[in-house]
Chains A and B, each alone.
Chain A
Amino acid sequence: MAFDNETTLWLSGNEAIALGAWEAGVRVASGYPGTPSTEIMANLSRYPGVYTEWAPNEKVGLEVAIGASFAGARALATMKHVGMNVAADPLFTAAYTGVRGGLVVLNADDPQMHSSQNEQDNRSYAFAAKLPLLEPSDPAEAKQMVGRAFALSEQLDTPVIVRITTRIAHVKGVVEKGARCETPAPAIEKMPAKLVMLPGNARMRRAAVEKRMQAARDLVETLPENRIEPGVGKRGFITSGVPYNYVKEVFPDAPVLKLGTVWPLPEKMIRAFAATVDELIVVEELDPFIETHLKAMGIACRGKDLIPNQGELNSFIVRKAIAPETIGEVFAPLELPMRPPNMCAGCPHRGLFYGLSRMKDVFVSGDIGCYTLGFLPPLSAMDACVCMGASIGVAHGMAKALGASGEGKVVAVLGDSTFMHSGITGLLNMVYNGTYASVIILDNRTTAMTGHQDNPASGRSILGEPAPELDLEELCRALGVRRVTVVNPHDVEATRKVLAEEIAAPEPSVIISRAPCVLLPEEVKRVKPPYFTNLDNCTGCSLCVQMGCPAISWTPLTPEEALARGYREKQKGFAQIAEVQCNGCGQCACVCKFEAIVQREVK
């Protein structure tokens, strides 16, 4: 746009990271979508000379990147913080093998849980896996540090983690553009003592890890990413990542040690800085990671006794914690109706959850995706949600604990992409060990929550090119499930009937609830005649309102108003469809018993 020119760009952190990886000569990149990391891979896929893909989960994605590195190529794996848990197995041993081509693991934490189920601080992974970790403060630094991470990876023979947070990923800023660097062509080179991690070799590599981390500790003392910004006064700050910005806003003149490498820490630089100030305050988001290691070094400092360890920080929180006297007047927030996110008008998940909401005795073991919103009122049809794919294992475990008392009352619900991510092994376990619990796969033909990424069942690659399309029914049968039923969730009555039959079945049963996400581009384009309310027929039963569709609203009536409109005196109100919002799914027409909901004629 207006500002972009030959050398200067206006980019989000995720766009800047994609550019940084491309400039660093990355050849292979793999990842699984996850807010706030998703746009990195989506953007990188548009650059020439780099192979990108959506993997079915983060473990596979990291293994692909490790393989590319073993072939001598620079490789990138991207994931959100909880994805790192999934990828932890290969991560901890790749720390032993080291790399051939540079290997960077891009990890996006989500303090404040804007779009996550927890706010774990993944800096601890660097400590636990013995890997260097870089943390940028804004998009420009993010781009630069990705380049540094590739160089360090090869220099130190180690995977390197770059940790960002939501306020890097989805912050836009000014970024300088560079050129793509040349990297050696990949080739097979056998080095089994380094790459085959059986105990004899692994013990040797374990020693190499310690040698490398010592080299890293020496190296970080002189890296420009770690710097002392001299200032006025005897109160100094040590900070890194996004919180650095808040320190600069609130204490623009104070001495600051800005850390770019959070692991290993530049101990000599820290000691030198600490010696110049009387009071040392560590400002970091989430866990006291830097603070704990400073204290282990015997350096006196303050940190989490001042700064909250929950939620993301901002300048105001830092100011309130350290310099409350500088806060001016702040208006108190008002009590207002909340506006939580909701399933879209015409969302196929609604029809399915409406059916579950009518089965009050059934425990719905949920999962991670748009459909987690099935938890919210008025549907209130989800009773547990832990992590990607957990719905199936949790349902199986509940059934085993409940025994006969839980028969016909336990069901797992998860999306197509989540099922492929980490639900398949759970279903295999159900079949192998036997259960009466059922599984519902919400197949909306895409990975919707993160913005419609393709997946192994969508029939398209990351570039939108045709790809083999997983047959979910055949997969379930191959795993040994004998009862596999496909339903159209927009047909609310038929769906309810199948739910009743299959959840009651005494053996493993899979229901595939199949209808495309209404936000898929082809669905947005499709002509979908809206429904409208024939107010003469509305009896105010509110069944349609109970579906929680954003296109349907309720108008309450007093007895006088009801009579004036020609309704019975005791009619409490009427429902009405906003036709501009209606996506024509027809679910509400299915539940209306009074023919008050009618579809417009197809033109």
Chain B
Amino acid sequence: MRQSGNILFSGVGGQGILLASELTAHAQLAAGFDVKKSEVHGMAQRGGSVEAHLRYGEKVYSPLIELGAADILVAFEPLEAVRYLPYLHRDSAVVVNTRKILPPAVALGKAKYPDTIFDEFASRHIKVVAIDAFAVAESVGELRTVNVAMVGAMSNFLAVHPEVFLRVIDRAVKSRFSEVNRKAFSAGRAAIHA
């Protein structure tokens, strides 16, 4: 099992990235690691790009991931995956939700949504796994579980036992949402092959 690592979460304000990073942090804490996590509140929440940095290890100092040092990028939107390219290295794993959210300039017809996102990763030999987390959430019957489905997909790349995540989910969400979130996690985990 890896003794330290850096997980970067990225997406659009309102997608539930804070909960996803929180679940992951608790799973790593339960596994016995020191963990630090950095978020940005305020202006960034109004539909802008958002990111959360999670670092774990025996002792973590910096709450921020260095450029070129993210081991896993969990991107809730394709454009918000490729935006964080400078954080990646050649052995990084990228878990990307395939559902696009158009940025304002694209929605206004003033800019084009890039269509070469997956090529950008491939040409740098970075491992990418795509997941339609929206479809996964739809299949378990609760659209608000997109973030938990993403955590499930990401969990394939961690040595933490899935049962640890499920216990964390049970404690993190209201009991009546526990079952559907467990399902979303497991479906997300099964949706990709690491």
Contact = CB atoms under 8 A, between A and B. Distances in A.
B62 A342 contact: no
Contacts of B63: 138, 167, 171, 173, 242, 245
A10 to B, nearest CB: 6
B43 A314 contact: no
A330 B86 CA distance: 6
Contact of A115 (B44, B64, B103, B167): B44
A309 interface: no
A96 to B, nearest CB: 34
Given A174-B29, A245-B63, A341 B80 contact: no
Interface residues of B, number: 59
Contacts of B49: 338-339
Contact of A340 (B26, B27, B104): B104
A555 B44 CA distance: 27
Contacts of B44: 114-115, 341
Instruction: Give the contact-size bracket for chain A.
Output: 35 or more
A344 B46 contact: yes
Contacts of B37: 171-173
A331 B112 CA distance: 22
For chain B, what secondary structure do more than half of its interface residues adopt (helix, strand, loop), or is it mixed? mixed
A331 B94 CA distance: 15
A43 to B, nearest CB: 13
Interface in A308-335: 314-316, 319, 327-334
Interface stretch (A51-59, A82-90, A418-426, A546-554): A546-554
A370 interface: yes
A18 to B, nearest CB: 15
Given A35-B41, A342-B47, A337 B109 contact: no
B47 A249 contact: no
Contacts of A545: 107-109
A484 B177 CA distance: 48
A337 B106 contact: yes
Nearest to A329: B68
Contact of B35 (A38, A174, A242, A341): A174
Interface in B49-87: 49, 60-64, 66-68, 79-80, 82-83, 85-86
17 contacts: A1-B171, A2-B168, A2-B171, A35-B43, A115-B43, A172-B35, A316-B66, A331-B86, A331-B124, A334-B120, A338-B49, A339-B12, A339-B80, A341-B43, A343-B46, A450-B42, A553-B102
Pairs A-B, 4 closest by C-beta atoms: A115-B42, A35-B42, A341-B48, A341-B46
